[in-house]
Amino acid sequence: MISVLSMNIINELQEIIAEQYRHQLTNALALQRDTIELSQYSDELSSSANEQAASLEQTAAAIEELTSNVASNASKANSMLQVAKEAKEASEYGNQIAQQSFIAMSEIQAATEAINQAVDIINNIAFQTNILSLNAAVEAATAGEAGRGFAVVAQEVRNLANRSADAARQIQNVAQTAREKSLGGVGTAEKMMESFATIAEKIALTDELVRDVSGASHEQMSGINQINDAIHQLDQITQQNAKTATNVASLSGFVQELSDTMYNEISAKEFIGKDQILASAR
């Protein structure tokens, strides 16, 4: 017969085994819960990685379009710089032409003044010649028959003096017209010089603004390149997260199988406290 001592030992051994089973069941249940949470986290990580990848793809497309626009603006700014340079050179050349026109008109004006002075001298000579011819005609008339030939000469001289005076008046009229035209040309040349100076100032301002735009475009390109680098790094991180999520999902599946095996094995056994542990786990 089994002694009381033996019974006590058997009871203690059964309690120890039951306690071990209770721990194993508790651990199996806890492992199942943790595995479920791990699976949820891996799904969330995978979903987040996919959403992040989609957002990065949209951002990369937007940055690519922005890069194209900024590059186009930079190219146009460079073209505008070239146009502004050519316009500046053209305005400077036009200003030189206007200055040359001003000098030429001034010289024409001086020449017409000289012509007028020469015509005044011719008029004076004609006037004096006319007076002398009149005096000669009077003297010839006084001389009678002897002075008739001299009177004819005096009349011809008078006619020449009158024609010289007429020619001098015509020259003076032409010179006066040339003088008036040259004065108008001087005024026009001055206005052209002022206009070209204003154009040069506007072109210089435009050139400065275009240079600012060009500099801003280059700064934007630099910033966009930095953004592209950041997106590339984020893409690498996202790919790593997706890889990690896949590994976690695989690991959680393995742990899930292991926990299910442990649970099935321990839950198939009968021991004291089993029902209470299962009830508390629900």
What is the per-residue pLDDT across 215-254, written as a single tens digit (0 to 9) for each?
Answer: 777 787 788 788 888 877 887 887 787 787 778 777 777 7
Contact call for residues 168 and 122 (beta carbons, < 8 A): yes
Quote the number of domains for the chain: 1
Report how far apart, in Å, the C-alpha atoms of 168 and of each of 6, 107, 112, 157 are: 165, 22, 13, 16
- 107-132 per-position pLDDT tens digit: 777 777 777 787 778 778 877 877 87
pLDDT for the residue 148: 65
The structure's pTM equals 0.49
pLDDT for res 282:
66
Phi first, then psi, for residue 2 (nearest 5°) are -80, 130
In whole angstroms, give the CA distance from residue 88 to residue 250: 71
Predicted local distance difference test score (pLDDT) of residue 2: 56
Domain containing 94 equals 4-281
Q: What is the pLDDT of residue 37?
A: 79
Q: What is the full DSSP assignment across the chain? A: ---HHHHHHHHHHHHHHHHHHHHHHHHHHHHHHHHHHHHHHHHHHHHHHHHHHHHHHHHHHHHHHHHHHHHHHHHHHHHHHHHHHHHHHHHHHHHHHHHHHHHHHHHHHHHHHHHHHHHHHHHHHHHHHHHHHHHHHHHHHHHGGGGHHHHHHHHHHHHHHHHHHHHHHHHHHHHHHHHHHHHHHHHHHHHHHHHHHHHHHHHHHHHHHHHHHHHHHHHHHHHHHHHHHHHHHHHHHHHHHHHHHHHHHHHHHHHHHHHHHHHHHHHTS--TTHHHHHHHH-
User: Which CATH number covers residue 67?
Assistant: 1.10.287.950
Nearest to 69 by CA among 231, 221, 216: 221
Q: Give residue for tokens 């085994």.
A: 17
| pLDDT at 281 exceeding the cut of 70 | no
Distance CA 104, CA 186 (A): 9
Span 47-105, pLDDT tens digits: 877 787 788 788 878 888 887 887 787 777 778 778 777 877 877 787 788 788 778 77
Contact partners, residue 32, CB within 8 Å, separation at least 6: 256, 259, 260, 263
Number of residues that this document lists for the chain: 282
pLDDT tier for residue 151 given thresholds of 50, 70 and 90: low
